[in-house]
Amino acid sequence: MAGTRVKARGESAFAERFGVFAECLLTGVWIAVASLGVVTYPAAFAAGARHLRRRIAHEGGGWREFVADFRTAVRGGWLAGLAGWAAVAAVWVDVQAVRAGIPGGPLVGAVGVLALIGLVVAGLRAAAVWEPDARWRTLLAAAWRRTVLDPAGSFLIIAGLAVVALSAWFAAPLAVAVLGAVAAAAVAVEERYRHR
C-alpha cells in the first residue's frame, strides 16, 4: 500500500544499498517502457523518481504506483516532452549550420548544444521533485534556476547522462537499466540542494 512505512528487519546496510541499486535498475526499465510514447519521457522520469523517493524513504510502492504516477504526470508532461523534442530539432538545425560553414555557425552550434544540455538537466531536476499536484511549467522554471545556481549538482547529472551514453555505446540494453540510475542521481542532487 502506498504511503505505508516498510522496514526490513535485520537488513544490513549493504543489503539495503544493494536493494536500492537493484530498484534503480528495475526503475530504469520502467522508465524506458513508459518513454516509448516519444513525448512521455518527462512523465516517465517523474514517476520513476517518485518511485525511488518512496523506496529510499522505506515506503511501500511498486509497479501499480509507478503507473498511477505516470498517468498523472503525463497529463501536462507530454507538453514538456514535445518542447524537449522541439529543442532537439533546433539544435540539429544549429549543427547543420556549423557543417554548412555559415559564418558564426560554430558559436551558434556550441551555444545550442550547451543550452540543450542545460534543458535536459533542468528537465531531470524538475522530474526529480515532481508531485501529483505540481504544474510542469512551475517545476521547469524552478529547476532551471537550480540548474544555474547549483553547477556542481548539474554536473553530477551530466555525468550520469554520460554513463547512459557510454553504456549505450558499449551495449544498448545496459542504457535501459542505467536510466533508473540517472533518475536516482537527479533525486540525490535535488535532496542535496534542498539541504544546503
| pLDDT for res 9 | 53
Q: Write b or e for each residue in 80-113: b if 16 or more Cβ atoms lie within 10 A of its Cβ, otherwise e.
A: bbebbeebeeebeebeebbeeeeeebeebbeebe
Nearest C-alpha neighbor of 26 from the set 58, 52, 60: 52
pLDDT tens-place string over residues 144-169: 999 999 999 999 999 989 988 898 88
The pTM assigned to this predicted structure is 0.86
Mean pLDDT in the chain?
88
CA distances from 61 to 48, 77, 87, 90 (A): 11, 22, 34, 39
| pLDDT for res 3 | 46
pLDDT tens-place string over residues 101-122: 888 778 888 888 899 999 999 9
Q: Is the pLDDT of residue 2 over 60?
A: no
pLDDT tens-place string over residues 6-23: 455 566 877 777 888 889
Q: Is the pLDDT of residue 177 over 50?
A: yes
Mean pLDDT along residues 53-68 = 89
Q: Is the pLDDT of residue 43 over 80?
A: yes
What share of the chain in percent tops pLDDT 90?
A: 59
Distance of CA 52 to the CA centre of its chain: 12
| pLDDT for res 133 | 92
pLDDT confidence of 87, banded at 50, 70, 90?
Answer: very high
In angstroms, the CA 36 to CA 99 distance is 31
